[in-house]
Amino acid sequence: MAHVVVEPSRAFSVNLKSLSASRNVYGGNVGVYWPESDARKSYFLDARHNTGDIIQTDIANDIRVAISNRRQKTNCNWLHLKEVISRCRYDKLKATGSTALDAFVDAFDSDQKAKEERINEAEQEIGRLTAELRKYGAGSQSSSNGLVATGEEQDLYQGEIRDIVIHALQDSLRNSRDDSRRLHVIQDLLQYNKASGTAAVFEEEVKSIFKSYTDMDAKTRTALAKLGFDVTDDGKHYKAIFQGDGRYMFSISKTSSDHRAGKNLASDINNKLF
C-alpha cells in the first residue's frame, strides 16, 4: 500500500529539506505523502499519541479512509465497461462484414452514448477538482506567505523554531511602550500562539542528567541519546553533538569529582540550546 522511506541521518534530512521545499518530516516524526498531490500529514509523539502503537493505528485508519474515498481509476468504472462492450460489438460486426444496418447503428449509438457519458463525467470531475485547487491554493498561499517565511534552519525538536519566535515576542512585549500599536499586536499574537513548553522539559532533563555526574555510564549515555545527543569518545573527553548538528557540540569529561562541573555543563548546554 505504500513505499516506506526512513531517513538514515540528520545530514540526509537537512539535504532533503532543500530538495523538497521543506516538506520532509524529521526528528523521528512520520509523514504520509500522497502520489500526485501536495497533501501531507505528520504524526509524532504528543500527549494524545504517547505510544508508537497509537500512532500506528492512526496512520492505518487515515490511509484506510483515504483509499475508500478515493475516486476510481477511469478504466475500472461502469461507463468504461459499457464503452468497451459497445466497441467490441461494433468491431465484431465490422470484422465479419455484416451488412445489418440496424445492428451497426445500434452498436455505433451505444458506443457514442458511452463516450458522451464519460465526457460528462470527466467534465464534472474537472469542475470538482478546479474548485478543490482554488480552495487548496488559497490555503497554501495563506500558509506559505504567512507572517514569517521559513528560512534555512530546521527544527531540532518538535516546534522548536515556533517556540523561539514566541519567546522572542514575549521578550519584545516587555520592552514595548504601554498602549502602543506594537504592544497590542504582540499581545494579540501571543494570545493565539502558545509555546509548547518542550524546551523547559529538555532543560530539566539535562539538569537531572548532570546533577550528580561522575562518569559516562550506560544510564547517562542512554538518557542523553533520548534527548537527541550523539555521544562519542574523543580521547581525553567525550563529545556530545545535539541532533547531529556540529554547531552544538559539547565536551564532557570522562570522570568528575566536582559536583559543580556537572551543573556548569548543564547550564552551558541549556543556555546554548534551550
Residues 118, 126: contact at Cβ < 8 Å? no
Q: Where are the domains of the chain?
A: 10-68, 74-142, 160-192, 198-273
Q: State the pLDDT at residue 142.
A: 42
Distance CA 107, CA 87 (A): 7
The backbone torsions φ and ψ at residue 165, rounded to the nearest 5 degrees and listed phi first, read -65, -40
CA 267-272-273 angle, to 5 degrees, is 100
Distance CA 24, CA 36 (A): 16
Query: Mean pLDDT, consecutive 10-residue segments, the chain of 274 residues?
Result: 83 84 82 79 81 90 78 73 82 75 72 77 71 54 57 82 93 94 95 90 93 87 87 87 89 81 92 94
Q: State the pLDDT at residue 65.
A: 79
**Does the global pTM surpass 0.75?**
no
Q: Given the C-alpha cell 568528575, which residue does it identify?
A: 256
**Strand partners of residue 30:** 43
Cα maximum dimension of the chain:
106
Q: State the pLDDT at residue 265.
A: 93
Q: Given the C-alpha cell 505523502, which residue does it identify?
A: 33
Q: State the pLDDT at residue 144.
A: 44
Q: State the pLDDT at residue 98.
A: 66
Q: State the pLDDT at residue 26.
A: 80
Q: State the pLDDT at residue 273.
A: 94
Which DSSP state fits 73? P
Burial class of 160 by CB neighbour count within 10 A (0 to 12, 13 to 18, 19+): buried
H helical segments located in the chain: 10-19, 52-68, 78-95, 101-144, 160-174, 181-192, 198-210, 218-227, 259-273
Which DSSP state fits 74? G
Distance CA 229, CA 274 (A): 14
Phi-psi region of 233 (alpha: psi -120 to 50; beta: other; left: phi over 0): beta
CA 192-198-204 angle, to 5 degrees, is 135
